[in-house]
């Protein structure tokens, strides 16, 4: 009976040790030993030189075609615009309206010009409007002043010294569409001032959500690009000039980061402010767990643009883990997105200054690894529980 119970206890111990000891996060050794041959990952220690390069990172803005440095706003008439035409005549018998005694100007023998306003007209699809005694006049592509001069030239042979004024009543074709997460969606008319994205958003009553949670999506022709509203507010180059027929949409897109591993709170957090540092993120998660967290192994996982990843690697070559790189030339060639792991050591005083300088970005992942001694302590706890069970079994057998 005693041998059987001893065999049972030993078999249980081998079963537990064979299954492995579970943990809430990998240790640094386990993390760095994992290598997928199809997944090129680069590990960089967050040194002062590396942090200086990271501080200079700028989010990609609108592509160059959206900048339109040579674009000049105009109010040229286009099909669909509504225009008004007023004709001033100096003759006694006006072409437009009824015959009335001429008003005097106060100057003996000089009559005041008579004004006649024609009904409002919409510029036709062929770009023309109809003027009595002149016929069809092509005004599309001309400013109101140029259109007035053209009409006036057609009336010169019909009346004495006519003066014509063309006014733009409804600028339907020179508008932009503003919608999405705004307080007042609609079509905004453009002027010679050259309204920019922030002007259109202000016209629409501003965003419904905090700027940090909103993207500006600009559709121009067959091209669509999105930039965070916070970046448009901070970067004049991204506050581009609106063009006719642009579609501007505000989209809610909360930015998040994830804290995992041996922390008090494993969760996904939303950016509440424009700037959130690595130190603030760790504090938001409640910090590490006593006797479990490895403060020497704090890792930030991030997908870096290829060109920027090269700048990081070359800033401090000594900070790059050469043993972790299978093909160093690959990072020098660059790629659209390069996975980089930044390591921060919080057991040293300068590590906290580094953590204060590293600014988080959308979809960053922070991992707090488990201390190597934690696994040993867990094994000892399992062994102690097994030996305790063995002691209880043998003691009960003796009795």
Q: Flag whether 313 is in a domain.
A: yes
> Any idea which residue has 């093909």 for tokens?
327
Q: Can you tell me the distance from the alpha carbon of 281 to that of 301, in angstroms, rounded to the nearest whole number?
A: 14
Q: Are 393 and 85 in contact (CB under 8 A)?
A: no
Q: Flag whether 205 is in a domain.
A: yes
Beta bridge partners of 170: 82
- CB neighbourhood size of 274 (10 A): 15
Q: Does residue 157 share a domain with residue 202?
A: no
CB under 8 Å to 329, separation ≥6 — which residues? none
- DSSP 8-state symbol, 159: S
Q: Flag whether 268 is in a domain.
A: yes
CATH number of the domain within which 106 lies? 3.30.1950.10
Q: Can you tell me the distance from the alpha carbon of 309 to that of 54, in angstroms, rounded to the nearest whole number?
A: 10
Tell which residue, 386, 287, 299, 346, has the closest CA to residue 21.
386
Q: Can you tell me the distance from the alpha carbon of 27 to that of 30, in angstroms, rounded to the nearest whole number?
A: 5
Q: Does residue 186 share a domain with residue 109?
A: no
Three-state DSSP class for 178? Answer: strand
Tell which residue, 105, 103, 95, 78, has the closest CA to residue 131.
95
Q: Does residue 259 share a domain with residue 369?
A: yes
Q: Can you tell me the distance from the alpha carbon of 226 to that of 347, in angstroms, rounded to the nearest whole number?
A: 40
Q: Can you tell me the distance from the alpha carbon of 53 to that of 55, in angstroms, rounded to the nearest whole number?
A: 5
pTM: predicted TM-score of the whole model, two decimal places: 0.73
Tell which residue, 23, 53, 61, has the closest CA to residue 340.
53
CB under 8 Å to 204, separation ≥6 — which residues? 178, 179, 182, 183, 184, 185, 186, 188
Q: Flag whether 145 is in a domain.
A: yes
Q: Does residue 248 share a domain with residue 184?
A: yes
The tens place of each residue's pLDDT in the chain, 399 residues long, gives: 444 544 444 444 444 444 444 456 788 777 777 566 667 788 899 999 999 999 999 888 898 888 776 778 888 898 988 999 999 887 666 777 654 455 444 545 555 667 888 999 999 999 999 999 899 999 999 999 999 999 999 988 888 788 999 998 888 788 899 999 999 999 998 888 889 999 999 999 999 999 999 999 999 988 999 999 999 999 998 999 999 899 999 999 999 999 998 889 999 999 988 899 999 999 999 988 877 888 888 999 999 988 888 889 888 888 888 654 555 555 545 567 888 999 999 988 989 999 999 999 999 999 998 886 555 455 555 555 656 554 556 656 555
Which of 170, 205, 227 terminates a domain? The answer is 170
Q: Can you tell me the distance from the alpha carbon of 238 to that of 227, in angstroms, rounded to the nearest whole number?
A: 8
Which of 188, 221, 252 terminates a domain? The answer is 252
CATH number of the domain within which 243 lies? 3.10.560.10
Q: Flag whether 76 is in a domain.
A: no
Q: Does residue 366 share a domain with residue 284?
A: yes
Beta bridge partners of 260: 367
Q: Would you state the structure tokens that stand for residue 246, as one six-digit string? A: 């642009």
Q: Does residue 208 share a domain with residue 126?
A: no
Q: Flag whether 77 is in a domain.
A: no
Q: Can you tell me the distance from the alpha carbon of 239 to that of 160, in angstroms, rounded to the nearest whole number?
A: 51
Region of 310 on the Ramachandran plot (φ > 0 left; ψ -120 to 50 alpha; else beta): alpha
Domain hosting residue 204, numbered range: 64-71+174-252
Q: Does residue 132 share a domain with residue 218?
A: no
Q: Can you tell me the distance from the alpha carbon of 270 to that of 248, in angstroms, rounded to the nearest whole number?
A: 25
Q: Does residue 300 share a domain with residue 219?
A: no
Q: Flag whether 36 is in a domain.
A: yes
Q: What is the pLDDT of residue 192?
A: 86
Q: Would you state the structure tokens that stand for residue 142, as one six-digit string? A: 């001309």
Q: Does residue 335 share a domain with residue 291?
A: yes
Q: How many domains does the chain have?
A: 4
Q: What is the pLDDT of residue 9?
A: 44
Three-state DSSP class for 216? Answer: strand
Q: Can you tell me the distance from the alpha carbon of 145 to that of 142, in angstroms, rounded to the nearest whole number?
A: 8
- φ, ψ at 165 (rounded to 5°): -125, 125
Q: Can you tell me the distance from the alpha carbon of 37 to that of 24, in angstroms, rounded to the nearest whole number?
A: 26
Q: Does residue 101 share a domain with residue 53?
A: no
Alpha helices in the chain (DSSP H): 2-19, 28-33, 48-55, 64-67, 144-155, 197-203, 229-234, 278-284, 306-315, 328-333, 349-357, 372-398
Taking the CA atoms of residue 154, residue 156, residue 161 and residue 166 in that order, the dihedral angle to the nearest 10 degrees is 0
Query: Can you give the length of the chain in residues?
Result: 399
Q: Does residue 353 share a domain with residue 267?
A: yes
Q: Does residue 213 share a domain with residue 160?
A: no
Rg of the chain (C-alpha set): 37
Q: Flag whether 301 is in a domain.
A: yes
């Amino acid at each position: 009976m005693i041998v059987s119970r001893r065999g049972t206890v030993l078999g249980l111990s081998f079963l537990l040790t064979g299954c492995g000891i579970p943990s809430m996060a990998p240790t640094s050794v386990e993390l760095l030993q994992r290598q997928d041959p199809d997944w090129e990952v680069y590990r960089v220690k967050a040194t002062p030189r590396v942090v200086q390069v990271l501080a200079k990172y700028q989010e990609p803005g609108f592509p160059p075609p959206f900048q339109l440095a040579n674009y000049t706003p105009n109010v040229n008439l286009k099909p669909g615009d509504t225009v008004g035409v007023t004709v001033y005549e100096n003759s006694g018998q006006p072409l437009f309206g009824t015959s009335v005694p001429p008003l005097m100007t106060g100057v003996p023998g000089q009559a005041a010009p008579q004004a006649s306003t024609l009904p409002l007209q919409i510029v036709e699809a062929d770009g023309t409007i109809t003027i009595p005694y002149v016929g069809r006049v092509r005004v599309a592509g001309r400013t109101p002043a140029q259109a007035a001069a053209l009409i006036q030239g057609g009336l010169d042979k019909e009346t004495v010294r006519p003066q014509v004024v063309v006014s733009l009543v409804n600028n339907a074709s020179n508008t932009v569409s503003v919608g999405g997460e705004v307080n007042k969606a609609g079509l905004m008319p453009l002027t010679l001032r050259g309204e920019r994205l922030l002007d259109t958003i202000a016209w629409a009553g501003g965003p419904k959500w905090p700027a940090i949670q909103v993207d500006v999506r600009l559709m121009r022709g067959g091209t669509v690009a999105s930039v965070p509203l916070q970046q448009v507010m901070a970067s004049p180059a991204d506050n581009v000039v609106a063009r006719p027929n642009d579609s501007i949409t505000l989209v809610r897109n909360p930015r998040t980061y994830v804290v995992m591993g041996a922390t008090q709170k494993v969760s996904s957090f939303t950016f509440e402010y424009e700037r959130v540092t690595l130190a603030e993120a760790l504090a938001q998660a409640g910090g590490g767990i006593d006797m479990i967290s490895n403060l020497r192994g704090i890792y930030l996982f991030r997908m870096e643009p290829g060109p920027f990843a090269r700048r990081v690697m070359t800033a401090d070559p000594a900070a790059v883990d050469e043993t972790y790189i299978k093909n160093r030339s690959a990072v020098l060639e660059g790629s659209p997105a390069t996975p980089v792991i930044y390591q921060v050591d919080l057991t040293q005083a300068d590590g906290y200054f580094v953590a204060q300088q590293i600014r988080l970005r959308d979809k960053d992942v922070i991992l707090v690894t488990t201390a190597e001694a934690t696994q040993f302590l867990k094994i000892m706890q399992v062994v102690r529980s097994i030996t305790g069970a063995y002691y209880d079994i043998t003691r009960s057998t003796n009795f």
